[in-house]
Amino acid sequence: MLTRFDRVQMVTADRPGTAARWAALLDAEVAGEDRVPSLGARRTTLAVGTSEVELLEPDGAGLVADFVRDRGGLGPFGVGFQSRDPSALRGQLERAGVPLEVDGERVRAEGSALGLPALRVTIGPPEERERVGLMQRLYEVTYLALDPDERCKRFADVFGLEPAYFCPIESLSFGYRGALTLFAPDDLDRVEIVHPHDETKTMGRFFARKGDSLYMCYGETDQSTEIRDRALAQAPDGFTGPREGGTPDNLFLHHTALGGMMMGVSRTTHAWVWSGHPEWVEPAG
C-alpha cells in the first residue's frame, strides 16, 4: 500500500539554525511552521527536493522531549510515507489495534504499536510537489535492528508490501547486513533494515549504545558536484566523499553539517548499484 518515501523527522534544539544549515548546503526552503500538540513540539517543515524534512523542537512534556531524554540527544525521530489508499491502510491498522494520531491529512503510528520498535511512521495521501533546491528527493531511511529478517517480514505484513521486491544488502566496509524494502520493483523508495554486526565500525558502535534506532536518510541529486563543493566550503569536517575530481557518485553529509541528521547523497540512478539493478545506472554527465 505504500507508494513513496515522503519525509523524515528529526529532533533539534535549534530549528532556525538547523534550517539555515539545510538552506546553505542544499537550498532547502521553509515550507511551514506550526506546533504539534501530540508530540509536544514546535515544527519547521523544510522542502528538500520533492520531499520534506520536519525539524522538531521540544516545547514541553511529550514524545519529542522523551526522545531527547531517552535517546540521549538529537537526531532522526520518524519517517513518512505516501500511500495510494491511506484510508484503507488506516482502517487496516485500526482493526489491528494500532493507535493512530491525526496530523492534518496524515496519521502517525508508534513503532512499538506496529511491532517495529523505534520506527515511528506517518502516512499520508499521494501528493505532487515542485522540486526545491539541489536535491531531487529523499528515498530511504536506515533502520537498525537486531533481526533484520524478522523486521523486514513484519514491515511487509504491516504495510502490504511484496517481499519479492526486497533487495538483500551487505557491507563489509560498514559492517552490516539486511535488506532494502523496495516499495516497487522499479523505484528506489524503501526503508533499509539492517543489523550492524561489527562494533569496530561507527554504525556498530551506535547500535551497541542505542539499540533499535533510525540512523540516517538517503537522497538523490543531479547536483552532487555543487553539494560537494558547498560541503567542503561550509562544513569540511562534516563531509565524507571524494574531495576533488569529476561528478561524485556518492557522498555523506554528517550530523554536524545538517544539525543532527546524517544524509547520504547519491547521484541520479547511482543507488541502483547496490539496489539490485546496476544496469540501470546512468553515466555521469
What domain range includes position 266?
135-280
For 153-198, write each residue's pLDDT tens digit.
999 999 999 999 999 999 999 999 999 999 999 999 999 999 999 9
12 and 109 within one domain: yes
**Which grid cell sits at 19?**
534550517
235 and 107 within one domain: no
pTM to 2 decimals?
0.97
Q: Report the alpha-carbon distance of residue 58 to residue 112 in Å, rounded.
A: 21
Q: Report the alpha-carbon distance of residue 10 to residue 58 in Å, rounded.
A: 11
Q: Is residue 130 part of a domain?
A: no
> Of 99, 124, 149, which marks where a domain is finished?
124
238 and 151 within one domain: yes
275 and 186 within one domain: yes
Q: Report the alpha-carbon distance of residue 45 to residue 31 in Å, rounded.
A: 5
For 22-49, write each residue's pLDDT tens digit.
999 999 999 999 999 999 999 999 999 9
6 and 83 within one domain: yes
- Find the CATH number of the domain harbouring 41: 3.10.180.10
> Of 98, 124, 150, which marks where a domain is finished?
124
105 and 69 within one domain: yes
Q: Is residue 145 part of a domain?
A: yes
Q: Is residue 129 part of a domain?
A: no
Q: Report the alpha-carbon distance of residue 2 to residue 162 in Å, rounded.
A: 10
Question: Cβ contacts of residue 70 below 8 Å, gap of 6+?
Answer: none
**Which grid cell sits at 31?**
515550507
Q: Per-residue pLDDT tens, the chain, 285 aa: give them.
A: 899 999 999 999 999 999 999 999 999 999 999 999 999 999 999 999 999 999 999 998 899 999 998 877 789 999 999 999 999 999 999 998 999 999 989 999 999 999 999 999 999 999 999 999 999 999 999 999 999 999 999 999 999 999 999 999 999 999 999 999 999 999 999 999 999 999 999 999 999 999 999 999 999 999 999 999 999 999 999 999 999 999 999 999 999 999 999 999 999 999 999 999 999 999 997
Give the number of domains in the chain.
Answer: 2
CA-based torsion, 105, 259, 74, 224: positive or negative: positive
Helix (H) or strand (E) holding 213: strand 213-221
